[in-house]
Amino acid sequence: MTEAVNQILNGLQLGLVYALIALGYTMVYGIIRLINFAHGDVFMVGAFVAFFSTSSWHLPFVVAVPLSMVICAVLGVVIERLAYRPLRYAARIAALISAIGVSLLLEYGSSLKWVFGPNYRVVPRPFNVTQWSFRGVQVSNIQVIVLLTVIVLLAALQYMVTRTRMGKAMRAVSFDHDAARLMGINVDAIISYTFALGSALAAAGGVLYSVAYPQINPFMGIMPGLKAFTAAVLGGIGSIPGAMLGALIMGEVDVLSAAYLSSRLRDVFSFSILILVLLTKPSGLLGKSGPEKV
Amino acid sequence: MILAVKDLNVAYGNILALHGVSFDVEEGEIVTLIGANGAGKSTSLRAISGLVRARGGKIMYHSQEITRTTAHNIVRMGIGHVPEGRKIFANLTVAENLEMGAYTRRDGLEAAFERVFKSFPRLKERLKQNAGTLSGGEQQMLAMGRALMATPKLLLLDEPSMGLSPILVQEIFSIIQEINRQGMTVLLVEQNAYMALQVATRAYVLETGRIVLSGTAAELRENPQVRAAYLGRAV
């Protein structure tokens, strides 16, 4: 029983990280109807920036996280500007192919010796790991930190999307670009802002992921990226609460299927969900009729 | 002159939607563009507010050329546009829709709300409601109220009567007249030529992307061609 609780807690930790990535997929989709396949690689860049800023530049961890978020926000804006905006009015498949191109560019570009290098790197723990035990249930300070960080970020996002002028403009743009233009909203600026926001969240996810699973490499973004994408589809792509819900489910499926069914087949179980959702409810759990469509 | 459109050409792909259309609007007027479906009425409005790019010709607003100005800056210059099909933000509340209308405003938000509630008291009762749940008439009121939130100097109205019952059409048109009396210049696009010619000062008739007739509304109401083609009456 305590073992099961431990696994559920592990699943929660993974799901929270997936949520940070899934939000970027879903926000970008909501606003320009594009699956940004380079998003998982932004997550990877986030992990590397934090790694270098703590181990090479000896910055404190609490500085490394926001720094990584800012750098990835800029990266996201640049990607949109160079790879997607020129294709805004082209066939949708063109932007999708461009996204795959950006993804490959980030992965193999990062593998270059003078960028991040092709090797696996072990991330030093930014703080000592403490385990607490309550009647056999193990909780580590890493889990607590992941949970608190994600809650703070999600609350901030929720506030921005529902309360601020920019957030309301985002929702207006996601509903109809032309109608938003007629309000005096600079749609291009809102799209840039959305990429910045999504990429910053992915960066935070990358940092937390590398703290929880302390080994990073230039291809580390692929699998979490795909899982988070699946989570976004599961929750209903375009829906922010849907992405959160989908990510939590994906995290549990990932960890529990590895623990109790087969660790070698864990990805089979996760991606079977994608196929099942697409077959039975393509709009996802909270899609379309969801209250917040961004 | 608040608006002058000269030799406007607009194309969608290779299909020319407007062939050298010229018209103008004086301050304080209600000018209407009437014509059949596909005549280029909406395209004319979309070109003025920058949603589609003109291929040729000129659009002057207060003697300033806006032909290449981006849509969001045109709004800032004082042109409001209530688009065809209303395009209210169904995923936002009524209050949030109105706030979006005031997106370019830095001050005077309260006063803008009060003015809109004066013209459309029904919106005040529905503030917290999701805009998608409003009836067609209320959606039209919201779309107009939203555009008025920015206190534009020129209001472009695209088919305000679309899909509304005759009573609601009457109501909407009397509101248009009321807003005009308070000093708003209106450029109105309508398929309901009868109603449009009732409220307008002047009118232009569009046919397949060209202006074929123009004059005061009173003149066009008596014009045999207009009566036969658009007012559904025998010559």
Listed by number, the residues of chain B in 141-170 with a beta carbon closer than 8 Å to a beta carbon of chain A are 146-147, 150
**Tens-digit pLDDT profile for residues B66-87:** 999 999 999 999 999 999 999 9
CB contact under 8 A, B75 and A187: no
Q: How big is chain B, counted in residues?
A: 235
Helices (H) and strands (E) in chain A, counts: 11, 4
Q: Is B72 on the interface with A (CB under 8 A)?
A: yes
Q: How confident is the model at residue B139 (pLDDT cuts 50, 70, 90)?
A: very high
Show residues of chain A in contact with B96, CB under 8 Å.
168, 171
- Report residues of chain A scoring pLDDT below 70: 288-294
Question: B138 with B167, same domain?
Answer: no
Helices (H) and strands (E) in chain B, counts: 10, 10
Interhelix angle A165-175/B94-101, nearest 10 degrees: 100
CA distance B63 to B67: 12
Higher pLDDT, A101 or B231: A101
pLDDT at A135: 84
pLDDT at B106: 87
Asked whether residue B234 carries a pLDDT value surpassing 70, the answer given is: no
Question: B106 with B221, same domain?
Answer: no
CB contact under 8 A, B100 and A175: no
When pLDDT is averaged across residues B160-184 and rounded to a whole number, the result is 94
CB contact under 8 A, A183 and B87: no
Asked whether residue B173 carries a pLDDT value surpassing 90, the answer given is: yes
Nearest to B83 among A179, A187, A293 (CB): A179
* Cβ atoms within 10 Å of B29's Cβ, excluding its own: 19
Interface mutation target, options B42, B69, B73, B91, chain A, most CBs of A under 10 Å: B91
How is chain A split into domains, by residue range? 2-280
Show residues of chain A in contact with B83, CB under 8 Å.
178-179, 182
Question: B47 with B157, same domain?
Answer: yes
Interface mutation target, options A31, A183, A186, chain B, most CBs of B under 10 Å: A183
**Hey, what are A28's tokens?**
């970008």
Q: Which residue of A has its CA nearest to B82?
A: A182
User: Which residues lie below 8 Å from residue B182, measured CB to CB, with a gap of 6+?
Assistant: none
Looking at CA atoms only, how far is residue B92 from chain A in angstroms?
A: 8
Looking at CA atoms only, how far is residue B52 from chain A in angstroms?
A: 10
Of B133, B151, B169, at which residue does a domain stop? B151
CA angle B91, B94, B96 (to 5 degrees): 75
CA distance A185 to A166: 9
Closest among A184, A236, A196 to A72, alpha carbons compared: A196
CATH fold label, A2-280: ABC transporter involved in vitamin B12 uptake, BtuC (1.10.3470)
pLDDT at A291: 42
CB contact under 8 A, A185 and B91: no
Q: Is A185 on the interface with B (CB under 8 A)?
A: yes
| CATH number of the structural domain spanning residue B222 | 3.40.50.300
Amino acid A52 reads F
Asked whether the CA dihedral B89, B90, B95, B96 is positive or negative, the reply is: negative
Question: B176 with B69, same domain?
Answer: yes
Question: B120 with B158, same domain?
Answer: no
Question: B137 with B180, same domain?
Answer: no
When pLDDT is averaged across residues B26-49 and rounded to a whole number, the result is 95
* Cβ atoms within 10 Å of A98's Cβ, excluding its own: 21
Q: Is B194 on the interface with A (CB under 8 A)?
A: no
Looking at CA atoms only, how far is residue B88 from chain A in angstroms?
A: 8
Show residues of chain B in contact with A169, CB under 8 Å.
100, 103
pLDDT at B233: 62
Question: B44 with B159, same domain?
Answer: yes
Residue B9, in any domain of the structure: no
Question: B90 with B144, same domain?
Answer: yes
Residue B48, in any domain of the structure: yes
Question: B111 with B159, same domain?
Answer: no
What mean pLDDT is reported for chain B? 94
Number of inter-chain CB pairs under 8 A, A vs B? 69
pLDDT at A293: 41
pLDDT at A288: 66
Show residues of chain A in contact with B131, CB under 8 Å.
none
Show residues of chain B in contact with A178, CB under 8 Å.
51, 71, 83, 87
**Hey, what are B92's tokens?**
């936002």
Range of the domain at B99: 84-151
Show residues of chain B in contact with A172, CB under 8 Å.
89, 92, 100
Question: B45 with B157, same domain?
Answer: yes
Q: How confident is the model at residue B14 (pLDDT cuts 50, 70, 90)?
A: confident
CB contact under 8 A, A185 and B83: no
**Hey, what are B60's tokens?**
């002057």
**Tens-digit pLDDT profile for residues A139-197:** 999 999 999 999 999 999 999 999 999 999 999 999 999 999 999 999 999 999 999 99
**Tens-digit pLDDT profile for residues B101-128:** 999 998 899 999 999 999 999 999 999 9
Closest among B180, B209, B201, B195 to B55, alpha carbons compared: B209
Amino acid A49 reads V
pLDDT at B184: 96
CB contact under 8 A, B91 and A171: yes
Q: Which residue of A has its CA nearest to B71?
A: A181
CA angle A220, A211, A102 (to 5 degrees): 30
Domain count along chain B: 2
Question: B194 with B229, same domain?
Answer: yes
Of B135, B151, B167, at which residue does a domain stop? B151
pLDDT at A186: 97
Q: Which residue of B has its CA nearest to A239?
A: B91
Question: B121 with B103, same domain?
Answer: yes
Asked whether residue B97 carries a pLDDT value surpassing 90, the answer given is: yes
